[in-house]
Chains A and B, each alone.
Chain A
Amino acid sequence: MKRWTALVPTFYIVFLLLPIYWLLNMSFKTTNEILGGFSLYPHEFTFANYMTIFNDPTWYMGYVNSLSYVVINTALSVTVALPAAYAFSRYRFLGDKHLFFWLLSNRMAPPAVFALPFFQLYSAVGLFDTPIAVALAHTLFNIPLAVWILEGFMSGVPKELDETAYVDGHSFWSFFLKIFLPTIAAGIGVACFFCFMFSWVELLLAKTLTAVDAKPIAATMTRTASTSGYELGLLAAAGSLTLIPGAVVIYFVRNYIAKGFALGRV
């Protein structure tokens, strides 16, 4: 029984890794070898694809641009979501339930719907082609998600904690920053992970709101199709490199997930 259950995650992980292996495999091949025929591993092993990326600013700046708006977005979304989630978890106020669902409804707005109006809006306020524009645009779906996750974690913390702190003479902010935030550190970690993830993988809005200076890596990759046919090797190398930031982030938050959360109430 025990041995049998271990097989399920193992099979699943193998299934997950096969496409990733194929991507890595191609990234070490020349485009000619990729198109030349089927092979399970690179016969003419090459780092040329990676060298091209690291030596060409239009390539590596794509990573810098993507990372900068993702980091700004994550910090911004979680910071403003913290007090809001506290309000939702502790107080009843005018319109609270409607507001909560309205926030969630923005998580449901298809980016395809908003692409053109976003372009007009951010051009009008003069932020077009800056990382700030993309960071702000991504708050549309990340703030609601962060509020949702954090509210769940906060509702799991008994209210007695707040009351004891006030009795002990803490002011609200002293309690909130010194006692409450450390208590829900796991929730903050999980919220950051999800904000990072959804901002890092989104392309449609990021591409719409940038032209040259702030172009994200995912958009830079689409140009390999136009310059000289399909440079598959280069595309695969660039794609492989997009795995790294995510892998680093999940490595840091893995313990929060491993400890578990039930999200008090939705």
Chain B
Amino acid sequence: MTKTVNNKAWVFVLPVFVMVAFNAIIPLMTVVNFSVQETFGDNVFFWAGVTWFEQVLRSDRFHAALGRQVAFSAIVLAIEIPLGLAIALAMPRKGIGVSICLVLMALPLLIPWNVVGAMWNILALPDIGLLGKAINALGIEYNYTRQPYAAWFTMVLMDVWHWTSLVVLLCYAGLVSIPDAYYQAAKVDGARAWAVFRYIQLPKLRHVLTIAILLRFMDSFMIYTEAVVLTGGGPGNATTFLSIDLVKTALGQFDLGPAAAMSIVYFLIILFLSWLFYTLMMRNVES
């Protein structure tokens, strides 16, 4: 669509700009402020320059937490995006089945995150939880409070349970909006199911898939509440993601300076990766 150049459009954007700026810029400045100062309590602050940034960027603990965070996002995206797309393709398009599928599938999305964590915490317990009991009954030793790989398995399974539906809903909405004419043309050409998917459905889904991938990337990279309630970062530090490590530093040890520096580094990483995804996918759309 060709757009008119009109700087008065700023009037329409102004309320959004003011509200988001109030919530974004003032707190961000507070964090920046903390990140360059040293405090010994009593609201006395000293200039610390980039000390905290150096400390954070060089610490093994930060690297380890960042590594776990990246691994988690990668695993979760690799499972949820194809799975969500497959389920959306297999869903009914007409009749009562549509409503049933949509309402039931959306349920996990609408549960408060700490409830999700608590549900899975109990569900996966080896003695009184359905999942824990079932896995142990299969003869596999499973205890997520002691085995790091079991904790990771539970964490990933919880996230797949929690968020795949978001991908399903977006992809389904995109699929339904493809005009029938495209399918008829494909039929005339004698295209097989794979060709229909590859040359009609996938290109038409590009926009909703961009949104789905970006949302899933951002939220899995920022996962906090569910993970803390499920494992508390354990066993040991096996599931201590960046967000958990950050809150431990900020509130647990009350190291405001390092925590603030870490926050900024964390935010910049998300910003950079999202920008990368966004530009790559926009370039695809334009070409």
Q: Is A211 in contact with chain B by the CB < 8 A criterion?
A: no
Scan B83-121; emit 1 where CB is below 8 A from any A CB, else 0: 000110111100000110111111111111111001110
Q: Is the CB of B111 within 8 A of A86?
A: no
Number of interface residues of B (CB under 8 A): 98
**Stretch from A47-55, A89-97, A177-185 that touches the partner:** A89-97
Q: Is the CB of B12 within 8 A of A262?
A: no
Q: Is B7 in contact with chain A by the CB < 8 A criterion?
A: yes
Indicate the member of A93, A111, A200 with the most B CB atoms within 10 Å.
A93
Query: Which A residue sits closest to B279, measured CB to CB?
Result: A101
Q: Is the CB of B115 within 8 A of A239?
A: yes
Say yes or no: A218-B115 contact (C-beta < 8 A), given A143-B19, A243-B110, A258-B99: yes
Nearest CB on B from A91, distance (A)? 4
Q: Is B138 in contact with chain A by the CB < 8 A criterion?
A: no
| Complex contacts, A236 vs chain B, CB 8 Å | 122
In terms of DSSP, what is the predominant structure of the interface of chain A? Answer: helix
Say yes or no: A103-B20 contact (C-beta < 8 A), given A243-B110, A257-B102: yes
Q: CA of A203 to CA of B223 in the docked complex: distance in angstroms?
A: 12
Nearest CB on B from A150, distance (A)? 11
Q: Is B225 in contact with chain A by the CB < 8 A criterion?
A: yes
Query: Which A residue sits closest to B116, measured CB to CB?
Result: A201
Say yes or no: A203-B105 contact (C-beta < 8 A), given A114-B27, A143-B19: no
| Complex contacts, A239 vs chain B, CB 8 Å | 111, 115, 118-119
Q: Is A202 in contact with chain B by the CB < 8 A criterion?
A: yes
Say yes or no: A9-B24 contact (C-beta < 8 A), given A16-B165, A37-B128, A91-B5: no
| Complex contacts, B68 vs chain A, CB 8 Å | none
Q: Is the CB of A38 within 8 A of B133?
A: yes
| Complex contacts, B142 vs chain A, CB 8 Å | none
Q: CA of A76 to CA of B102 in the docked complex: distance in angstroms?
A: 26
Q: Is the CB of A143 within 8 A of B20?
A: yes
| Complex contacts, B118 vs chain A, CB 8 Å | 221, 235, 239
Q: CA of A217 to CA of B114 in the docked complex: distance in angstroms?
A: 11
Query: Which A residue sits closest to B206, measured CB to CB?
Result: A266
| Complex contacts, A9 vs chain B, CB 8 Å | 87, 90-92, 101, 105
Scan A198-240; emit 1 where CB is below 8 A from any B CB, else 0: 0011111000000000000110011000000000100110010
| Complex contacts, B128 vs chain A, CB 8 Å | 34-35, 37-38
Q: CA of A134 to CA of B178 in the docked complex: distance in angstroms?
A: 39
Which one of B13, B107, B177 lies within 8 Å of A84 (CB-CB)?
A: B13
Q: Is A136 in contact with chain B by the CB < 8 A criterion?
A: yes
Q: In chain A, residues 9-34, which have Cβ atoms closer than 8 Å to a Cβ of chain B?
A: 9, 12-13, 15-20, 22-23, 26, 34
| Complex contacts, A266 vs chain B, CB 8 Å | 207, 210-211, 278, 281-282, 285
Q: Is the CB of B112 within 8 A of A242?
A: yes
Q: Is the CB of A242 within 8 A of B115?
A: yes
Q: Is the CB of B267 within 8 A of A110?
A: yes
Q: CA of A259 to CA of B86 in the docked complex: distance in angstroms?
A: 19
Q: In chain B, residues 184-231, which have Cβ atoms closer than 8 Å to a Cβ of chain A?
A: 204, 207-208, 210-211, 218, 221-222, 224-225
Tally of A-B residue pairs with Cβ under 8 A? 289
Nearest CB on A from B227, distance (A)? 11
Q: Is A118 in contact with chain B by the CB < 8 A criterion?
A: yes
Q: CA of A206 to CA of B228 in the docked complex: distance in angstroms?
A: 16
| Complex contacts, A112 vs chain B, CB 8 Å | 222, 224, 243, 246-247, 250, 263
Scan A244-261; emit 1 where CB is below 8 A from any B CB, else 0: 011101110011011111
| Complex contacts, A136 vs chain B, CB 8 Å | 19, 22-23
Q: CA of A262 to CA of B207 in the docked complex: distance in angstroms?
A: 7
Q: Is A192 in contact with chain B by the CB < 8 A criterion?
A: no
Which one of B5, B12, B31 lies within 8 Å of A83 (CB-CB)?
A: B12
| Complex contacts, A90 vs chain B, CB 8 Å | 3-4, 9
Q: Is the CB of B87 within 8 A of A12?
A: yes
Q: Is B174 in contact with chain A by the CB < 8 A criterion?
A: yes
Query: Which A residue sits closest to B109, measured CB to CB?
Result: A197
Q: Is B183 in contact with chain A by the CB < 8 A criterion?
A: no
| Complex contacts, A81 vs chain B, CB 8 Å | 16
Q: In chain B, residues 3-33, which have Cβ atoms closer than 8 Å to a Cβ of chain A?
A: 3-10, 12-13, 15-17, 19-20, 22-24, 26-28, 30-31
Q: Is A108 in contact with chain B by the CB < 8 A criterion?
A: yes
Q: Is the CB of A16 within 8 A of B107?
A: yes
Q: Is the CB of B110 within 8 A of A140?
A: no
Indicate the member of A86, A108, A116, A217 with the most B CB atoms within 10 Å.
A108
Nearest CB on B from A223, distance (A)? 12
Sampled A-B contacts (16; CB under 8 Å): A5-B89, A17-B107, A80-B15, A90-B9, A93-B10, A106-B20, A110-B222, A120-B30, A121-B30, A239-B118, A254-B98, A254-B102, A260-B178, A261-B173, A262-B174, A266-B207
- Closest 7 A/B residue pairs (Cβ): A246-B110, A260-B176, A117-B27, A260-B177, A117-B30, A8-B90, A87-B12
